[in-house]
Structures are given as C-alpha cells and as structure tokens.
Amino acid sequence: MCGIVGYTGSSQAIGYLLEGLKTLEYRGYDSAGVAVLGTDGALHGVKCAGRVATLVERCETANLVGTTGIAHTRWATHGAPTDRNSHPHRDCSGRIAVVHNGIIENYRELRAYLQRGGHTLVSETDSEVIAHLIEDAWAGPSAGNLVGAVRNAVRRLEGSWALAVVCADAPGEIVCARNGSPLVVASTSEGAYAASDVTPLASVTSHVIQLENGQLARLERGGRVTVFDAEGAEVDVPSTIDIDWDASAATLGGYADFMAKEIAEQPEAIERLLSGRMGAHGVTLDELSMTGDELASVDRVYLIACGTSYHVSLIARTLIQTWAKVPVICDYASEFNYENDVLVTPHTLGVIITQSGETADTLTAARRLKGMGCKVFAITNVLGSTAARESDGVLYVQAGPEVCVASTKAYTAQMVASALLALRLAEAQGQMERAEVERRYGDLCRIPDLIREVISRSWQDKRAAQLFRRAHSALFLGRGVNATTALEGALKLKEISYLHAEAYPAGEMKHGPIALLEPGFPVVAIVPEDRVHDKTVSNIQEVIARGAVCVAVATDGDEAVASLVEHVLWIPHVPDELLVPIVAVVHLQMLARHVALLRGCDVDKPRNLAKSVTVE
Ligand code: M6R
C-alpha cells in the first residue's frame, strides 16, 4: 500500500517522479505528493488529496525544477485523505522531506515526545513523526550525515516502513530505509532510483536491488547506490534481480482499462506458465526445491492466502486432496496468524499464494510456518517479491504486471499453478500413474483456448449486466469447486461496482440467504455440467419460484438451464469438472466489469482498495 518513488541524477526529476507515480497508483490513490530539491537549495513540492492526475495538474503550474526528488501516492491508514495528510511530510524547518509506506505503531508516543521537545506536527498521520525524528538526529548526533540521521530515526520506530528521504542540506542525495514494507533501488548511468516495486523501474533499467529488512541505502546523483545494514556498516550490494517485464506490459496498449486488458491476457499467461512443464520424468516443478522423497513424505499441506488468492487456495485444496490424497488446510493469513491451534506436523508443506508477494498478513503467516519448521513454497506473480525471497521455493505464475486492483489473470494463473503443484504431489505420493498425469496436464493445456472462447462471448456478460444496473444486492451460488467460483464472482462484483454481493454454496441457500429473495433480486448461479448439476438446477428452481432473476453460467447446450433462467453465460465443455472454475470465472470477471462500467465506477481503481496490502 502506498507507492514511493525517488530519483536523483542528471535529468529533471519531476518527469520521472510523476510517471513513476502513475505506474504505482494501483498501490493507493487517495492522495499524492512530490518534493523536489530546487536550484535555490530549498525543497519545493506539491501535495493534494485525490488521484495522481490531480497532482500532475497542480505540478504544471508549480515549476518544480531540480534533479533530486521523492514522490508518493497514498492509501490512507492514519488520518483522512486530505492535502495536509498527503506525503511528503516535512520537519519543522521544511528542509527534510519524507515519504513513507507502512504503519508506525508507536507514533502516538513519538508524537508526544516530539511535541514536548518543541516540534510542531501539522498532520494526523503516523508518518510525519519520521521527518521530525530525522530533524533531531540531523541537528545532533548525525549532523551532516543523512544516512546516520535516518538510521538514528528508524531505531526509534516500531511497525513497518519503506522510506525515501531528501534533505536540502544533503543535495543530490536520497536515503532509503526498509523494514517490513517493500522497497527497491537501482543504479544507472542517468542516476539512481527508488521505488516501492519494480514497475516504475522497468522503463529505466533491467537490474534492481531489493533492500532487505533493516537495510538503508544512499542514492547519489552520479547514480551510485550504497547499501548499509542496520548498524550503519556498508554491505555488498545484495540480491540484484533482473526485471524481465517490458515497460509496455504495464500500459493500456489500446484497451479501455487494465481490467479489460488483463482479462484478455489470461490465455497467454497460462500458456507461458504451462510451457515445458511436462518433462521426461513427469511434471517439472524444479522451483519447489524439494526432492521426490521429500514430496513423498508430505503428510499435510497448509495453504495460506488473502482475498482472491485465498479463493485460489480453496480450489488448490480440492485439487491436492483429490489428486494427491494429501489432507489440506486452508486459512486466511490474517486469521492463521492469531490462531492457537495450528495443526502442523513434521512433514507439513506450507504454501502461500500471493499475486503481489508483498501482502503483509501472508508474509507473517509464512514466517510463522517457517518458524514451526515447515518448508514454505510461494506461488506468486511478482519477481523478487518478499514472498519469493523468503520462501524455500517459488513458482512464478508469469502473468506479467497486474495493474488493475481487481485480480483477474493472476487468479486464473494461480489456479493453474496450483494444479501443477497438485499433479507433482500426486506423482511423488504415488497416487497417479504417468499416463494419468500426462492426460491431466493435457487437460490443463486446453484451458487457454477455452478461455479465449469465453472471452469471445463477452457480449453475453454485457447484456446480463443490465440486470444489476440498479440492484442493491446480489447472490452468487455454486456447488463443489464452483462454490469458490461463486465467492470469487461476488468478490469481483462488490470490489469494483460497490454492489453488495454475497456468495453461498447453493445447497446452503435454504438455510438463510433465501430470505433475501424477492421479485427482481439478481442471483448468479454457476451450474456447469458436473455431478452436482441437477442439485444446483433444483436450487435455481427455488430462486425462480420466489421471483428472483437468475443469470446462470452453464455449459454449451444445457437447454434445461436455458429454459429456466433470464440470461445464460455460456462456457464450452471443460474436459475435467475440477478445472471448470478456471474457465467459468472469466465470465464473472467480465460481468463484474460491465456492471461497474454501467454504474459509472472506475474499474481499475476501486475506492478504498489498494493492490498490494502491505499493512496487517
Ligand atoms: O497480492 P495478493 O494476492 O497477496 O493479494 C491478496 C488480496 O489483497 C487480493 O487478492 C485482493 O483480494 C484483490 N483485490 C482481489 O481482486
């Protein structure tokens, strides 16, 4: 949450800072700001509530000339999204400016301490204290040493932070610090860069340095980057990662919005992920970093994730339990972290699923599992993310940058990655013959074309979306693996159209949610051809009997369903019913998008949300 960008070099900073903020806007977009060290030796800046576009407009008349600067796009935690609470925050002199991502948990004590010391704090944020702590250090023990001043300041902080700091009295320098919140830096011949993630760096370099927790970095105008440990000792430049994302991957490329683009990219993303995965010895999943014997001894899998990725874990549970016959426990990371009774055996495999690889709750859960002696494997999309670096093995889903806050291509790619994991485990556990593994891999390879077919039918979703235009609520129903498709469909709809949506296993409807039904109430039923098809059809009958209006996701040719419901979102025949969720959800993604557009919502940047949830 919150996007940070910094630049010091030979070019004017403002252009890169604003472009960088645009690419990071998915991390938060309720306010934004920039500070540039001017040629007059003072810091100049603009900050305001609203989107980066508002900041860009304001900057047009602000004449921010200078080659060193920092910028921020905010997702508010402490203090409303107002001009005053926007970053950068300054010290009393106005000569030190700080941008922060994270939460300072002891900010109240620090604020009181600083006020007692005569500091004037002007915002309601937790972040502002950092600027004043640096001011104290700069005036005292770390005079003239910005790295030292920042190091002194962060020693007093509790919580999480990624920081970029500029000081008018340390021209050409940016100091960064990281603890818990992600931060990458890069050195180029044009200058040195800092950013919350690799997205804004893809246009300037293909090599970035991922700061580790506790580290600080000094960025100099000549492009030099020096990394320090928490004690202030210089360390060898650690863990450089190569970005293989081309910068244009994070642009709209002719699509109306990123959600449309990312929905369309799903077939290619899955093809990339599946390519070369069937080797001479079965499914190739070397990234697991576990031997066949180790995999054979796994007696339990713990799947931990949040949000849409949690829905992936529910599908993964079914795939692993059905194919590998290994018991699986799924948990929300935010719940798992505070549970007393965690059922871990000496041979439990922990799996975290996270698109961004930076979700704070998921990272905490992974550390907890590792602390219990589990091997932890990450299924993630973002190269070099904290989840990838801290796990024992990582499977990159290779979906490319996902910019829209609502996850689409990462969701389907993560489900396919989970299927590969399930197949590998099934092989290692001796639960599946080679021929069956090959057949199931072949089924997976058919998914991209099936999704292409669904995407070509988006007109069906556009038409059905009219039903939701003025609705206040909607119910999603499905059975078995498609109870999860219902959950994901409801999440997509509420997330981007602000329409309340609830999902239930279809058979559970009669135990409560049926009371919601009244004439005109929209219900979405996922009812593909599978072994629970007829049961779900009965539930659709119950819906219709109460005057509710039903939209069904059904398999081509299902006249029984077509004759009952208002709209059908048709899917082609899927060779394995356990794989239907990967295909069926695409209709629900498109439906949610069309509903959101009809209701005048910004599909890419839904209110209150951020793409990467780096606070607990
Ligand atoms: O990056 P992660 O997969 O860990 O993110 C988890 C959730 O925050 C995320 O899936 C969220 O629910 C999405 N906005 C859903 O579209």
DSSP code string of 349-400: EEEEEESSS--HHHHHHHHHHHHTT-EEEEEESSTT-HHHHHSSEEEE----
Nearest CA owner, ligand 1 atom 9: 307
**Minimal CA–CA distance to 306: which of 366, 394, 264?**
366
Whether 258-455 shares its CATH topology with 458-598 is answered yes
Residues 164 and 183: their CA atoms lie apart, in Å, by 9
Query: What fold characterizes domain 458-598?
Result: Rossmann fold (3.40.50)
Residues listed for the chain: 616
Buried b (16+ CB within 10 A) or exposed e, 175-201: bbbbbbbbbbbbbeeebbbbbbbbbbb
Among positive and negative, which fits the CA dihedral 341, 327, 359, 498? Answer: negative
Mean per-residue pLDDT, 202-213: 89
Distances from the Cα of 541 to the Cα of 337, 479, 505, angstroms: 41, 15, 15
pLDDT at 384 over 90: no
Give the Å distances, CA to CA, from 454 to 271, 308, 583. 16, 20, 7
- Give yes or no for residue 5 having a pLDDT over 90: yes
Give me the pLDDT at residue 244, please.
Answer: 67
pLDDT at 615 over 80: no
pLDDT 10s digits, 39-82:
999 999 999 999 999 999 999 999 899 999 999 999 888 899 99
SS3 417: helix
The closest residue, in CA terms, to atom 4 on ligand 1 is 354
Average pLDDT over residues 352-377: 95
Protein residue whose Cα sits closest to atom 11 of ligand 1: 307
State in Å: Cα 265 to ligand 1 middle.
18
Please tell me the predicted confidence (pLDDT) of residue 461.
Answer: 98
> Ligand 1 within 6 A of 386 CB?
no
H or E segment to which residue 115 belongs: helix 107-116
Of 50-54, 144-148, 176-180, 235-239, which range is least confident?
A: 235-239
Mutate to test the pocket of ligand 1, among 181, 197, 306, 604 (most ligand atoms within 8 A of CB): 306
In sequence order, which residues have a C-beta less than 8 Å from that of residue 608 and are 6 or more positions away?
none
Alpha carbon distance 556, 140 (integer Å)? 74
Reduce the DSSP state of residue 278 to 3 states and report it. strand
Mean pLDDT, the chain, rounded, equals: 94
Strand partners, 569: 553
Q: Is the pLDDT of residue 616 over 70?
A: yes
Whether pLDDT at 246 is above 80: no
Per residue in 505-536, pLDDT (tens digit) is 999 999 999 999 999 999 999 999 999 999 99
The tokens describing 497, both together, are: 């159209």
Round to whole Å and give the CA distance between 406 and 591. 13
Q: How close is the Cα of 118 to the center of ligand 1, in Å?
A: 42
Which of 407, 411, 484, 495 has most ligand 1 atoms within 8 Å of CB, for mutation? Answer: 407
- 611 CA to middle of ligand 1, Å? 7
pLDDT in tens, 96-138: 999 999 999 999 999 999 999 999 999 999 999 999 999 999 9
**CA of 305, closest atom in ligand 1:** 4
| CATH code at 3-248 | 3.60.20.10
For the residues 454-483, what does the mean pLDDT come to? 97
Looking from the CA of residue 612, the nearest atom of ligand 1 is 1
pLDDT (0 to 100) of residue 135: 97
If you search the block for the tokens 């250090």, which residue do you land on?
Answer: 137
CB atoms within 10 A of CB 155: 10
Using a 10 angstrom Cβ sphere, with 0-12 exposed, 13-18 middle and 19 or more buried, the burial of residue 174 is buried
The whole-angstrom separation of Cα 316 and Cα 309 is 10
Indicate which residue of 47, 261, 409, 611 is catalytic. 611
Average pLDDT on 424-442 reads 96
CB crowding 327-357: b at 16 or more within 10 Å, else e: ebbbbbbbebbeeeebebeebbbbbbbbbbb
Exposure pattern of 420-456 as b/e (b: 16+ CB <10 Å)? bbbbbbbbbbebbeeeebeebbeebbbbbebbebbbe
Q: How many helices and strands, by DSSP H and E, does the chain display?
A: 19, 27
| pLDDT confidence of residue 247 | 61
Domain residue spans in the chain?
3-248, 258-455, 458-598
Judge whether residue 19 has pLDDT over 80. yes
Cα-to-chain-centroid distance, residue 45: 29
Rounded percentage of the chain residues whose pLDDT exceeds 90: 85
pLDDT of the residue at 238: 60
- pLDDT band, very low/low/confident/very high, at 314 (cuts 50, 70, 90): very high
Does the active-site annotation cover 325? Answer: no
Paired residues of 208 in beta bridges: 241
Architecture of domain 258-455: 3-Layer(aba) Sandwich (3.40)
Asked if residue 606 has its Cβ within 6 Å of ligand 1, the reply is no
Q: Measuring CA to CA, how many Å separate 517 from each of 259, 509, 602? A: 31, 10, 29
User: Which DSSP category does 177 fall into?
Assistant: E
Q: Which of 196, 197, 262, 308 to mutate to test the pocket of ligand 1 (most atoms within 8 A of CB)?
A: 308
Give 182's Cβ-side CA count (13 Å radius). 32
Phi, psi at 595, each rounded to 5° = -65, -45
Q: Determine whether the shortest distance from the Cβ of 613 to ligand 1 is under 6 A.
A: yes
331 in helix, strand or coil?
A: strand
Which of 112-126, 188-202, 303-317, 483-497 shows the lowest mean pLDDT across its residues? 188-202
Least confident of 78-82, 250-254, 312-316, 573-577: 250-254
Please give the single-letter amino acid code of residue 204. V
